[in-house]
Chains A and B, each alone.
Chain A
Amino acid sequence: MISSWLHQRANLNHRWLQNEYSIFLYRLASGGVLTKEWANRLNEWKNRHDELVFFVENSELALSPKQLLNVYPLSELHEQHREWLEPLIHEYYCSRSGIRNKIKQLKEKISEVDRILITFQVGISQPEAGKEMYQLCLKLSEMISVLPKEIQI
């Protein structure tokens, strides 16, 4: 699970959000005119939105140490013990890592980008909206970047 999550993170955050979408937004924020082609590129956010939300929501499970119960030697645990140990490990990890709070903040940031995107669609204050959107995406990318890169033990 962690490997596919890491893979998704590399594609979504590193390749798309940082190196593609944010660089495009920088141009927009630097006074670029919103042509039809650029409007289409701006709307890439909408295409990626659900994938991004799914990725963020999936973080809690992807980084959870409870997955280790499926791997030898913990996979040998009796079902009876596993039943109480699994939720306990997960809850302990959640409270220690603050992952739920991080997910909440990430989703809020995504919603902020959603809202600012509407500004473009109604055509008001484009340069300012461009700057705000660029800053928000940078922040979002930074928040994703600091998520752990391995299961949290």
Chain B
Amino acid sequence: MSIPKILVIDDQFGHNIKSRRDLCAMYGILDITGDDSLPEDVNKPLAKACFCSGQITSDSTVINDVEFTIRAVQQGWPMDDGSRWALILLDLCFVSGTLEGNGWATGQVGDEVFGLEILSRLKLIFPELPVVILSSREREEVIEDCRKSGAVDFIQRLSVLGGPSPREILSKKIREYGLLEDKNEVVVGRSISLLKVLAEARRAATGGGNILILGESGTGKELLARYIHQQSPKAAGSYKVFHAFGTAENLQEDLLFGHIKGAFTGATKERSGLFEQASGGTLFIDEIGDISETLQNKLLRPIEMRQVSRQGSSQEISLSMQLVLATNKALDDYSTTGRFKFDLLNRIRAYTIKIPPLRERKDDIPILVDHLLEKLCKDYNSRWPRTVHFEAMEKLKSKTWEEGNVRELRNVLERVVKDNKDSEIVVARDIRFDNEARTPSSLQAKSVVSFSIDNGQPSPNLGWLNGIHEMSIEEDYAFLHGTWQPLQREIALLLARYLAASIKTTRIKRADGPPEGEINLTGAVSCLFGHQLSTVKAADFVKRILQFGENAGEEIIKENPVLSTALEQALRFRPKKSAKNSRKSSRNL
């Protein structure tokens, strides 16, 4: 995993390479802008940086240019490799105007706040992108304006000697606010929603305090807890996990608090609980919503005071630990009904992190699939590496993932690996969902058709259409409600394009006819259906597709003029007329 990439928007360091080298050395960043033939060689750089001046020079005049700056930001949102700017460092004062002999611009009114103008635009277009102001101005002077405009923090460019070094200061800001992937790959993904959660987790990981993780089942709450532990100052300490769900009520207390010898029948020797064992590190209590009501009362003291007593003992043991708790339950509702103590809820939700469900971070599916497949292939001694055909990936991405989340994705892939141990490729047919019957086929079909139309080319996903005729209207009625018409329209558009392609391939060329050949409508439609149709049926099919809806027909015809001719021919054919006339008309079809 590469080090984070940041963008520095600064007039002086964007232009002046000599100064930029000093800045890079000072902050421990590696210049990858590409306009310096000898960039500063930084030892163990904490980030790679691109520099952008935020200005353009035309006829010896320097102009501040927001659009140019926005384009520079867009280049890394995301980059070709899928990564994104972890952070933007933005200057405040940009000096523009006529260039003088010394290479500096004269300065114009408004230059001193141009950075804030850029900031406002950035927050409009890239609201999730963290921006830190890097300026030589005094923090107190500008912090209010910067924060109000959307900057997450401010760095005074020149540090006082003896205090934290510029490198340390920048490192802290990147850690706190940067959109960084988990380099240890405990939590896998690079979607913005996940990267924001990771930043929250790093900010929360102070080594003390209580953190509550909320998220649906299978979203990776335990993995996030482990990430918090690894990111905290107590990372060197132990990491202990307590699963409340499935643990008998009488065992829960013993596991957490431990006991002294003779505390109860069967307590033949002293044993420490998980609270004690995790002291100096992190304790993760999973499914806190499933803790018994009796135990909830007993948790108040260790959670608030960091003190615990073993069962049967009155001796208080002080703890130094970070406590992470997780649940997929609505604790607020539980607290209203009295099932969860309000006092306890108040103590544990000081810092709450919500993990997005998989359906809200579908961008992560390819990277998750890759990661999980590698792991599963190794676990089951199966062939690795293997590629995932794009149809298979589309099938995974188009699933709604209403429940199960990453855990369900893992289960689906586990079956793929077990069923195809020696295969070097995963195809769509390999992907089978447990709850396939509950996935509305209409939604699948809609997404496939939309993909085809948007792409402007015949869909490469034809395989996906295989099951469309089996769509159960009764079962899917609720899902189709309000979507039937658009769905019909999309299917008509798709079929119209196949019809156009079929017409093209079945044209009949005659010596006295047009050079591109005559339209053979019956042949074209028969080709689509895969067997010979009557002229009546072929004409009927063309009319149905090309006359669908009030506007859809026009839209279809506009897309391809040959279809307009085809419709004209189909309309000329009147099935209600006499057989003689029909035969006469059909000669043209």
A18 nearest in chain B by CB position: B136
Check if A20 sits within 8 Å of B107, measured CB to CB. no
Interface residues of B in 161-199 (CB under 8 A from A): 161, 165-166
Of the candidates B13, B104, B158, which one forms a contact with A26 in the assembled complex, judged by CB atoms under 8 Å apart?
B158
Q: Which residues from A are CB-within-8-Å of B102?
A: 11
Of the candidates A11, A14, A27, which one forms a contact with B136 in the assembled complex, judged by CB atoms under 8 Å apart?
A14
Q: Which residues from B are CB-within-8-Å of A11?
A: 102, 104
A23 nearest in chain B by CB position: B22
Check if B161 sits within 8 Å of A23, measured CB to CB. no
How many angstroms between the C-alpha atoms of A145 and B141 in the bound complex? Answer: 12
Q: Which residues from A are CB-within-8-Å of B165?
A: 30
Looking at the complex, which of A91-99, A103-111, A115-123, A130-138 is the stretch in contact with chain B? Answer: A130-138
0/1 per residue, B17-61, Cβ < 8 Å to A? 011001101100000000000000000000000000000000000
Check if B104 sits within 8 Å of A23, measured CB to CB. no
Min CB distance B432 to A, Å, is: 60
- Say if the beta carbon of A129 comes within 8 Å of chain B: no
- Say if the beta carbon of B157 comes within 8 Å of chain A: yes
Q: Which residues from A are CB-within-8-Å of B16?
A: 20
How many angstroms between the C-alpha atoms of A7 and B105 in the bound complex? Answer: 10
Q: What number of A-B contacts does a CB cutoff of 8 Å give?
A: 53
Q: Which residues from B are CB-within-8-Å of A19?
A: 12-13, 19, 136, 157
Q: Which residues from A are CB-within-8-Å of B87?
A: none
Q: Which residues from B are CB-within-8-Å of A145?
A: 138
Check if B12 sits within 8 Å of A10, measured CB to CB. no
Min CB distance A65 to B, Å, is: 22
Interface residues of B in 1-23 (CB under 8 A from A): 12-13, 16, 18-19, 22-23
How many angstroms between the C-alpha atoms of A24 and B196 in the bound complex? Answer: 35
Task: Answer whether A20 and B161 are a contact pair too, CB < 8 Å, given A14-B136, A27-B25, A27-B26.
Answer: no
Check if A7 sits within 8 Å of B161, measured CB to CB. no
How many angstroms between the C-alpha atoms of A47 and B584 in the bound complex? Answer: 100
How many B residues touch the partner, as a band?
20 to 34
How many angstroms between the C-alpha atoms of A145 and B102 in the bound complex? Answer: 22
Task: Answer whether A15 and B104 are a contact pair too, CB < 8 Å, given A10-B95, A20-B16.
Answer: yes
- Say if the beta carbon of A140 comes within 8 Å of chain B: no
- Say if the beta carbon of A22 comes within 8 Å of chain B: yes
- Say if the beta carbon of B93 comes within 8 Å of chain A: yes
Task: Answer whether A23 and B93 are a contact pair too, CB < 8 Å, given A14-B136, A30-B165, A131-B161.
Answer: no
How many angstroms between the C-alpha atoms of A145 and B142 in the bound complex? Answer: 14
Q: Which residues from A are CB-within-8-Å of B13?
A: 19
Min CB distance B487 to A, Å, is: 60
- Say if the beta carbon of A113 comes within 8 Å of chain B: no
Interface residues of B in 389-444 (CB under 8 A from A): none
- Say if the beta carbon of B106 comes within 8 Å of chain A: yes
Of the candidates A10, A30, A131, A138, which one forms a contact with B158 in the assembled complex, judged by CB atoms under 8 Å apart?
A138
- Say if the beta carbon of A52 comes within 8 Å of chain B: no
B10 nearest in chain A by CB position: A19
Of the candidates B22, B104, B136, which one forms a contact with A24 in the assembled complex, judged by CB atoms under 8 Å apart?
B22
How many angstroms between the C-alpha atoms of A121 and B238 in the bound complex? Answer: 55
Q: Which residues from B are CB-within-8-Å of A134?
A: 161
Min CB distance B109 to A, Å, is: 11
Check if B107 sits within 8 Å of A26, measured CB to CB. no
A10 nearest in chain B by CB position: B107
- Say if the beta carbon of A62 comes within 8 Å of chain B: no
- Say if the beta carbon of A29 comes within 8 Å of chain B: yes
Task: Answer whether A23 and B95 are a contact pair too, CB < 8 Å, given A7-B106, A11-B104, A15-B12.
Answer: no
- Say if the beta carbon of B318 comes within 8 Å of chain A: no
Check if A29 sits within 8 Å of B26, measured CB to CB. no
Min CB distance B338 to A, Å, is: 61
- Say if the beta carbon of B159 comes within 8 Å of chain A: yes
Min CB distance B52 to A, Å, is: 16
13 A–B contacts, CB within 8 A, in A order: A7-B107, A10-B107, A14-B93, A14-B136, A15-B104, A20-B12, A22-B158, A24-B22, A26-B166, A30-B165, A135-B161, A141-B158, A145-B138
8 tightest CB-CB pairs across the interface, nearest first? Answer: A23-B22, A18-B136, A20-B19, A24-B22, A19-B12, A27-B25, A22-B158, A131-B161
